[in-house]
Structure 1
Amino acid sequence: MNIQMIGIDHSRASVEERELFSFTKTKQKELMEAVVRQQSVDGCVLLSTCNRMELYVSLDAKAEPDLYRIICHCKQISGEEEKRLRELFTVRTEEDAVRHLFLLTAGLKSKIIGEDQILTQVGDALEFARSGEFADTVLKTLFRMAVTAGKKIKTQVAIPKGNTSTIDAALTQLARQGYQFAGENCLVIGNGEMGRLTARAFQERGANVTVTVRQYHSGEVRIPEGCARIHYGERYHKIPECRYVVSATASPNVTLERVELEKWKLEHPITFVDLAVPRDIDTSIRELSWAEVYDIDDFQGGIGLSERQQEQLQAANLLAEEELAAFVSWYECRDMVPQIQKFGALAAQDVSWRMGRTFQQMKLDASQCRQLADAVEQTSQKVFQKMLFGLRDHADTDVMRECLAALEKVWKEE
């Protein structure tokens, strides 16, 4: 199995280091174009989130491209910095790469065990790679099976968890530190998925929430019901009224700058929470006497697992191993697909030929007879191929090859 993953994530890299390898959609396309230009690469999929950047590639036999160097070239990182950052990356190959993706999609590699966002993010990564024709058949199948495995694990193994998103973890941690939310004003910058999650999280805790939008027309943006809205350009004027300000955009640009905020002489504290990578909020804002600033790495830490969670985690790992075995079986048998399709076509032709006299006895005209024959042939082909693909997915690889060899012999003898 020649599948490789190279990535950087929260387990080894700080937010400052991770944001060096954060990719906008434009940069994602640029990187994947550079990767698939390598002669040894058949396809690639890039997963880029706040906590991780992972590049999955399908390779020719014995190929060993320097994927890290390609990534650094795309991000214009070179020299001593390139050498220093290399140690933050992890490379996984073959079954280890597949296992990691399955566990990741189930939320078992996240800071918040069992979190739900990663499942959507993995699916979105596949769709983006497919739309640009970067993913080959192997990676398309791998990511589809990973999403299926993630859903299956989440359904069958109910891992107990208190928080299912970064903002929930953040607010829970702040509450433990004595922060109050009920009745407080909160400004959420960004109305994408994370922005909407943030707005709902504050609403559930009784806060008065305002969300920034870039258009006033309600048909063009979606914000949670009950939230007020202001234009993004008015955000600085709203901040003095707020106790909390959260920036949660997918933009690579800074949303809040110190030079604008230091104009205010405030007597009450404001807590800024930056959930973006790269970070949205000017880090020097924390030097203002009335401001305190948190970023994504200030939360989710120190979350231990109970004995019950450990047991459920073991069950999830066993289920992931079953899904891994299913993918390995598909991978090892993928060369059988042309044979199975050929036998399906031959079987359909045989059924159609044997039904020929029956069609004639039905006293149909030539056109009707042909339409019926085509329908029978297509149906027969689908049924026969479904049986063979089902056998391939459940039978031992060697047994399946023997079956196909026997079928080949039978048709040759006929």
Structure 2
Amino acid sequence: MRKIQMMGIDHSRATVAERELFSLTKAKQKELMEAVIRQQGVGGCVLLSTCNRTELYVSLQKEEDIDLYRIFCHIREIPQTAQDELQHLFCRRSGEDAVRHLFLLTGGLKSRIIGEDQILTQVREALEYARLCNVADTVLKTLFRMAVTVGKKIKTQVAIPRGNTSAIAAALAQLEQEGHTFGGTQCLVIGNGEMGRLTARAFRERGAFVTVTVRQYRSGQVQIPEGCARIHYGERYEKIPECRYVVSATSSPNLTLEKDKIQELNLTGALTLIDLAVPRDIDPCIGELPQTEVYNIDDFQTGTGVSEEQSASIEAAKTLVEEEVAEFVSWYECKDMIPEIRELGTLAAQDVSWRMGKTFHEMQFAPEVCHQLADAVEQTAAKVFQKMLFGVRDHADSDVMRECLDALGQVWKKE
């Protein structure tokens, strides 16, 4: 029987500078998961990687003990001398604790912004990428599918009251409190992914004139929010002197804006740069230049304070999560029964087919018709019987279910 382990680093334990040490490109994510899956006793793994967290989920044999941290450090090329110093940044969970954490996370209850929407998509995409890399086993596929279902239930059944629903919304709200205004200003958004599009729309809603960078111009392959202009990524520096705000939100491992190139522009007006990426897109040293300020994702207080209204909804969401954790545990403890359920279903179906076959012959059907009818009856009976047993498994205590299977086995397997 396999168990579930999780190891991760997130915004609650590590700064953006520390998190970016362990950020991974798509290629490196695949390399890490493939390295983990090669370890003895590992059944599958899924890596969840966002700006605020990097978490590795693994299913393995109970007796196995895999040093996920060292594997992670090896793939990320963390020097041996630094590994011991950085290890405290990681949290480790196992069993129900790991399941509960993922369910709470997918429901938006562990995000910097309570109830935020993006994490649900990110969890779904993490599973899809693991499946694409052929490293997710049945246990983790079921776990992540259930996590997405839990997230949807929380959003529809609980509806946690929210203010800002994204990092950029929280960032702009904080900047407004500090005296910034956006109406009529020029804004450049570097990056046309999900966060880039959210950013462009947020500035447009506040009356800014927004330009978005794209990598190419071919029609049908690039979409930008309505009302926004676009330029090629290579023209970003030429656009900056016109801008009051610049936001970068890409998945690039390299800087999108460098200090020396900004300095060469000889800017005369104030410039605010917002970096929403991990690893960071914008050289933080740019903030040393006159009339220039640089914010990163950790500069915005998006996870502090919970209203009374939110507290009641959060408790309701946690109750829902506990119910779903119990359901997953029930499935997990009974999953080894699946082969026996299928075997019993087949044996029962064969018995039904044999009995119906006698009736078909008595009705004087042609032999080929009798065979066709018997095959159809057997296939249908197997599906019905297995569905019935799986339904019992999902609602009965595991010990009771095993007694039922033993009793049925004595009936169908007897000579």
Give 4+ residue runs of structure 1 displaced > 6 Å after superposition: none
Separation in 2 of the partners of 1:276 and 1:384?
52
Distance in 1 between residues matched to 2:200 and 2:368, nearest whole Å? 62
Tell me the residue number matched to 1:347.
348
- Cα displacement (A) at 1:345: 1.1
Summarize the Cα distance change of 1:268–1:339 in structure 2 as closer, same or farther, 3 Å threshold. Answer: same
| Distance (Å, rounded) in 1 between the aligned partners of 2:348 and 2:55 | 44
Are the structure 2 counterparts of residues 376 and 261 from structure 1 closer, same or farther at C-alpha, using a change threshold of 3 Å? Answer: same
Pairing 1:147–2:148 present: yes
Could you tell me how far apart the structure 1 residues matched to 2:392 and 2:46 are? 29
Partners in 1 of 2:219 and 2:171 — Cα distance?
A: 29
1:133–1:302: structure 2 CA closer, same or farther, 3 Å change rule? closer
CA distance in 2, matches of 1:172, 1:362: 79
* Matched residue count: 414
Instruction: Give the stretch that moved more between structures: 147-156 or 321-330.
Output: 147-156
1:121 and 1:30 mapped to 2: Cα distance? Answer: 19
Measure, in 2, the Cα distance between the counterparts of 1:156 and 1:150: 10
Does the alignment pair 1:399 with 2:400? yes
Q: 1:16 aligns to what?
A: 17
Cα separation, 2, equivalents of 1:358 and 1:192? 64
Return the alpha-carbon distance in structure 2 between the equivalents of residues 163 and 153 of structure 1: 17
Query: How much has 1:80 moved relative to structure 2?
Result: 2.9
Q: CA deviation at 1:249?
A: 0.6
Alignment of structure 1 residues 222-237 onto 2, 5 Å: 222-237=223-238
Q: TM-score, normalised by structure 1?
A: 0.96
Residue of structure 2 equivalent to 1:378: 379
Instruction: Determine the C-alpha separation between the residues in 1 that align with 2:364 and 2:412.
Output: 32
Partner residue, 1:288: 289
Other-structure match for 1:211: 212
Residues of 2 paired with 1:52 and 1:274: CA distance? 16
Measure how far apart 1:372 and its partner are: 3.7
Q: What does 1:2-401 align with in structure 2 at a 5 Å threshold?
A: 2-301=3-302, 303-360=304-361, 366-401=367-402
Paired with 1:397 and 1:52, the residues of 2 have a C-alpha distance of 35
Q: In the alignment, residue 295 of structure 1 is paired with which amino acid?
A: N
Displacement after TM superposition at 1:351 (Å)? 2.3
Q: 1:267 to 1:380 in 2, by over 3 A?
A: same
Compute the displacement of 1:37 (Å).
1.2
The farther-off stretch of 107-116 and 175-184 is: 175-184
Residues of 2 paired with 1:111 and 1:288: CA distance? 30
Distance 2:243 2:369 in 1: 74
CA contact (8 A) 2:37 2:44 kept: yes
Q: Deviations over 1:206-234 (max 9, x none)?
A: 21111111111121111112211111111
- Kindly state the Cα deviation for residue 35 of structure 1 after the two structures are TM-superposed: 0.8
Paired with 1:107 and 1:8, the residues of 2 have a C-alpha distance of 17
**Aligned-residue offset at 1:138:** 0.9
Give the AA of the match of 2:100: R
Secondary structure class of the residue paired with 1:21: coil
Task: Note the C-alpha offset of 1:359.
Answer: 4.0
Structure 2 stretches of 5 or more lacking a match?
Answer: none
Describe the superposition over 1:41-75 as per-residue Cα deviations: whole angstroms up to 9, x where unpaired.
11111111100010111111221111111111111
Unaligned stretches of 5+ residues in structure 1: none
| 2:131 alignment partner AA | R
Instruction: Find the aligned partners of 1:367 and 1:260 in 2 and give their Cα distance.
Output: 82
In 2, the alpha carbon distance for the partners of 1:251 and 1:302 equals 26
Is the 2:212–2:231 Cα contact (8 Å) retained in structure 1? yes
Mean Cα deviation higher: 66-75 or 297-306: 297-306
- What letter is aligned with 2:376? A
Q: CA deviation at 1:366?
A: 5.0
Distance 1:401 1:271 in 2: 64
* 1:363 Cα deviation from its structure 2 partner: 6.7
- For the residue of structure 1 that corresponds to 2:89, the secondary structure is coil
What SS does structure 2 have at the residue aligned with 1:46? strand
CA displacement 1:350-383 (0-9 Å, x = unmatched) = 2222222444567765555444433332222111
Aligned-partner residue type, residue 97 of structure 2:
D
In structure 1, C-alpha distance between the alignment counterparts of 2:156 and 2:361, rounded to whole Å: 53
SS at match of 2:202: helix
Preserved CA contact (<8 Å) 2:112 2:303: no
Contact 2:113 2:303 in 1 (8 A): no
Deviation at 1:266, TM superposition (A): 2.3
Deviation, structure 1 residue 178: 1.4
SS in 2 for 1:268: coil
For residue 304 of structure 2, what is the amino acid of its counterpart? I
2:69 partner SS: helix
Q: Residue 10 of structure 1: CA displacement?
A: 0.2
Is the Cα–Cα contact under 8 Å of residues 112 and 300 in structure 1 kept in the other structure?
no
| 17-26 vs 199-208, greater mean Cα deviation | 199-208
Deviation at 1:79, TM superposition (A): 2.8
CA contact 2:170–2:302 (8 Å) conserved in 1: no
Q: How has the CA–CA distance of structure 1 residues 360 and 83 changed in structure 2, closer, same or farther, with 3 Å as cutoff?
A: same
Q: Is the 8 A contact 1:166 1:300 kept in 2?
A: no
Q: Distance in 1 between matches of 2:377 and 2:268?
A: 80
Task: Read off the aligned partner of 2:102 and give its amino acid letter.
Answer: L
CA contact (8 A) 2:114 2:303 kept: no
